[in-house]
Chain A
Amino acid sequence: MAKITLTVNGEKRSADVEDRTLLVNFLRDELKLTGTHVGCDTSQCGACTVHVDGRAVKSCTMLAAQAEGCEVVTIEGLAKNGKLHPAQAAFTECHALQCGFCTPGMIMTTAALIKQHPQPTDEQIVHGLEGNLCRCTGYLNIVKAVKHAAELQKAK
């Protein structure tokens, strides 16, 4: 067992977990933050994307123990003071989600993407979404949403 302490959505959280516990399982099972999803087991789909120390990572490919002392932000912690993050607002405004299962991962990836590229080109968007799969939308509205999210971020 490993004792881990990390900050999740601004709150310090501690737990004893099996060493083999993945970060995503820690978030979902221990902290009941079920907004982070698991869509595959080969690190391809990105549904589990969260931010660790400000970077988008796949929480299914990281041990909870590796996040010791880190700042983790999940989809539940993205909106601030009841105000949606631009990526969240853009996804609904552009109809960039259908079933919604890939959406938390897509939004977390988008949030990191527009931080890195405040005015992303189509190429940067497509390149930036390489680690996220969606089965419903054909991605057309997702690409639009990323662009729109950048605009909303700028307008803030």
Chain B
Amino acid sequence: MDTHHSHLFEVGGAKLARLEDLRLIKGEGCYAADWALPNQAHAAFLRSDRAHARILSVNTAAARKAKGVLAVLTGEDAVKAGYVKPLSMLTFAGKDGKKASIPERPVLAHGRVRFVGDLVAMVIAETALQAQDATELIEVDYQDLPAVVSPRATLEPGAPQLHDNVPGNLCFEQEAGDAAAVEAAFAKAAHVTKLRLDVTRVAPNPMEPRACAVAFDTASGKFTVHSPVQGINMMRMQLAAYTGVADDKIEVVARDVGGGFGQRSIGYPEYVALMLGAKTLGRPVKWVSSRSEGFLSDSHGRANYIDGELALDKDGTFLGMRIDWIADLGAYLHPAGPVSPMRNPVTCLNGVYKTQALYGRWRVALTNTAPVSAYRGAARPEIAFAIERLVDEAAAQMKIDPAEIRRRNFIPTDAFPYKTPTGSVYDIADFHGVLDKAMKLADVTGFPQRRAESEKRGMIRGLGFSTVIENSGAGMFPKDEIRLEVHADGNITAYSVSHSQGQGHETTFAQIIGDGLGIPAERIKLRQGIGEQGLIGNHTGGSRTIVGAGTVCHIAAKKLVEVATPLAAEQLGVEPSQVAYAGGEFKSTASNKKISLGELAAKKPLVVTGEGKFGSTFPNGCHVAEIEIDPKTGVTEVTSYVTVDDCGTVINHTIVEGQMHGAVAQGWGQIFGENIVYDETGQMLTGSFMDYTMPKAGWIKDITIAEHTTFGTISPLGVKGMGESGCTASLAALTNAMMNALRPLGVPPLDMPLTAHKVWQAITAAKKGK
């Protein structure tokens, strides 16, 4: 395999307008709610209005008689169909070799509801409004049960129990690292820093609400499911597992996907219920979620509740770190939900440091809340947050410069490949280089002057940063495939499983293929979500796409030339060795004759499938945040934000910058406002954009983005992936900046989100305490 540290991409790369844009700016995209299937009926769901209750009876008689109603399905129907157990990817053994206890989840609740928003019944009617009207005619007799929403309380003895097969609401427990070594490290420590590091529950909130339209063909027994996806295979696998329907009897169809962030990677019970509805009715059935339903029932993110301790010697060398981690998964397990917090933190448990003694305990807890799954970063931001907060607090407590303490503990640049204590191999990085560049760009030396200037205006200024690393996802499918089909006009259609939810695959993939073939990217049209191609491949997630499918684009392009060369030779009447390829054309070196890819394809179909399998890469970076707080209101302004990232080769700088903007904004959102709050009874208090603070225009004024590249060794392109790194670095960088500002006032470490209200209260309390 050739190694291709190309800078070619930069030629067209940075300037190329995205190839997917034209239809999207003209309103010609096709999102899930835009499907209109012939003769489709419409579904609406009756959801539980309480967090925990026994269902004594469900009376659907009046709803069935309502205008336009075609069918009403309940938990009885779900159980009868056997649609009761979602796939779980939590299949590995935990502590003492014990496997996870996986709760059942009938796609419509049966016997018990376990969170506000749990599905109780589905009404199908001629119109969506009729279906919604009829849900109100369903009478449910509940017997309320005590609910538990706190992830720590739910593991206490005597807590209300959610599932009979999950004693103590504990699904799974695992340990990693070396407990004895950590014990020894703490015993000899000169200093120990201990922090609570909760990373609160947020709503991914892609702007496109969920929607799904399912058709069932009675003759073939085949379902066609139109839904937003991150990759059709992942969706089909889950729907097949939930229903017991064979893989090849489910076709998943998706075109444009309006944002994902992990929320699209789930075969939701609503989709499965629609399959049941379409089959029962013999008509296509469509459902479009409202945002209010989405808040209650879309997967939530983060919700990891962490206690951490760092042991240091007198010089600030990290001797050991210990964490105790509770992952709140909500009332049921989404298929991959618990896997991210069990896997990703272990992979990068040492962060960017050479800390040798590491130990952690992880517990998967259930609560009477909406189920949780991956959200941009999927526990990578959480472990980075935990480490970087501990490091920063330790530096402050020991009065060591926070950059200096990091430098003392970085894995040295000449130590790669570096095997970590938990068994990962970081292939290549330059943490010192990344940090130095970031410190310079953020003008850290000028900070004291800026702080003094703020103080003069009655404002409180802080600067903080994080140096983080993360593992890109290795993927759960055995390989990634990309198919290239050459057309007679010389244009090429590329097929991919990995599905863009905004990342711009149509552009970057075309760039890579175009680069491999020496033809303009505009001549390559990427098609995603085409089930009939039967490709194997991973969904887009875990920052893996450029490493997996992206690299395979390169491989497929090379393969195309390889496969087409003998065909061209035949046409040119020469030996393959006498054929040279360049710029879409094969030329005979023996004569002046030539034939183009398109001309070849006109004679005989020219289709190749490239494949490859690539493990985790380790993108890393340093983000520096500078903030200013108005103590009168607690309002914080981020006055400067600098990112220096090493994501390996950059295919398209504009897209990489855009990803960074978006991810940092999501981190910003989580630190300063976003938070899903349930009251004690399990009612959601932040169930709309009126109460849940989404970042808005102008809140982040500017982000300075720089690269510090070491070429990754996993992919021949040298790429490492980068979609999530903005989240991974920003949670800690922003919090460290806030604590840098607040610490001198005597404010103790604060839990996110650092809303104006909370900051004002903390400042006020600190003033009173003095």
Contacts and interface: CB of A to CB of B under 8 A. Distances in A.
A92 B696 contact: no
Contact of A91 (B25, B292, B661, B694): B25
A133 B655 contact: no
Nearest to A105: B207
B44 to A, nearest CB: 13
Contacts of A18: 129
A42 to B, nearest CB: 5
A53 interface: no
A36 interface: yes
B24 A97 contact: yes
A20 to B, nearest CB: 7
Nearest to B291: A40
Interface string B692-734: 0011111110110000000000000000000000000000000
Contact of A101 (B31, B288, B689): B31
Given A42-B291, A45-B689, A92 B698 contact: no
B259 interface: yes
Residue with the greatest number of chain B CB neighbours at <10 A, chosen from A41, A74, A107 = A41
A99 B208 contact: yes
A92 B690 contact: no
A99 B501 contact: yes
Contact of B665 (A20, A102, A129, A139): A139
25 contacts: A18-B129, A28-B34, A37-B33, A37-B208, A39-B208, A40-B209, A75-B26, A79-B26, A91-B25, A101-B207, A104-B27, A122-B698, A126-B697, A133-B689, A133-B696, A134-B697, A135-B206, A135-B666, A136-B658, A136-B662, A137-B662, A137-B665, A138-B661, A138-B700, A139-B698
Interface string A36-63: 1111111011010000000000000000
B690 A42 contact: yes
A118 interface: no
Interface in B635-690: 654-655, 657-659, 661-662, 664-666, 668, 688-690
Interface string B418-459: 000000000000000000000000000000000000000000
B698 A126 contact: yes
B18 A88 contact: no
A102 B697 contact: no
Contacts of B17: 92-93, 95
A140 interface: yes
Contacts of A93: 17
Contacts of B658: 95, 98, 136-137, 141
A84 B25 contact: yes
Residue with the greatest number of chain B CB neighbours at <10 A, chosen from A36, A125, A126 = A126
A143 interface: yes
A13 B654 CA distance: 41
Given A40-B689, A139-B695, A75 B207 contact: no
Interface in B368-385: none
Interface in A98-117: 98-104, 107
Nearest to B29: A100
Contacts of B668: 138
Nearest to B699: A139
B24 to A, nearest CB: 3
Contact of B696 (A97, A139, A140): A139
B27 A92 contact: no
Given A39-B207, A44-B694, 8 more contacts: A98-B503, A99-B208, A135-B694, A136-B207, A136-B658, A138-B664, A140-B703, A141-B661
Interface string A2-43: 000000000000000010100000001000111111111110
A137 B696 CA distance: 10
B26 A39 contact: no
A134 B29 contact: no
Contacts of A99: 206-208, 256-260, 501-502
B261 interface: yes
Contacts of B689: 40, 42, 44-45, 133
B20 interface: yes
A47 B33 contact: no
Nearest to A108: B27
Nearest to B503: A98
B700 A140 contact: yes
Contact of B688 (A33, A42, A97, A101): A42
A78 B690 CA distance: 30
Contacts of B259: 98-99, 101, 135-136
B504 A98 contact: yes
Contacts of A20: 129
Contact of A132 (B502, B662, B697): B697
A35 B207 contact: no
B29 A135 contact: no
B8 interface: no
B25 A107 contact: yes
A32 B519 CA distance: 37
B670 to A, nearest CB: 13
B21 interface: yes
A126 B288 CA distance: 31
B201 to A, nearest CB: 17
B208 A101 contact: yes
A104 B668 CA distance: 25
The 8 closest A-B pairs by CB, nearest first: A35-B27, A101-B258, A126-B698, A99-B502, A138-B665, A100-B24, A75-B27, A98-B502
B572 to A, nearest CB: 41
Contacts of B697: 125-126, 129-130, 132, 134, 139, 142-143
Residue with the greatest number of chain B CB neighbours at <10 A, chosen from A39, A91, A125 = A39
Interface string B479-504: 00000000000000000000001111
Nearest to A21: B129
B26 A41 contact: no
Contact of B31 (A37, A76, A88, A95): A37
B502 A92 contact: no
A138 B668 CA distance: 9
A92 B25 contact: yes
A37 to B, nearest CB: 7
B205 interface: yes
A100 B30 CA distance: 10
A39 B654 CA distance: 26
Contact of A135 (B261, B290, B688, B699): B261
Residue with the greatest number of chain A CB neighbours at <10 A, chosen from B17, B205, B696, B698 = B698
Nearest to A18: B129
A28 B286 CA distance: 15
B28 interface: yes
Contact of B205 (A36, A37, A135): A135
A141 B129 CA distance: 38
A76 B260 CA distance: 25
Contacts of A107: 25
Contacts of B209: 38-40
Contacts of A141: 658, 661
Contacts of B700: 138-140
A107 B34 CA distance: 19
A153 B290 CA distance: 36
B22 interface: yes
A102 B688 CA distance: 17
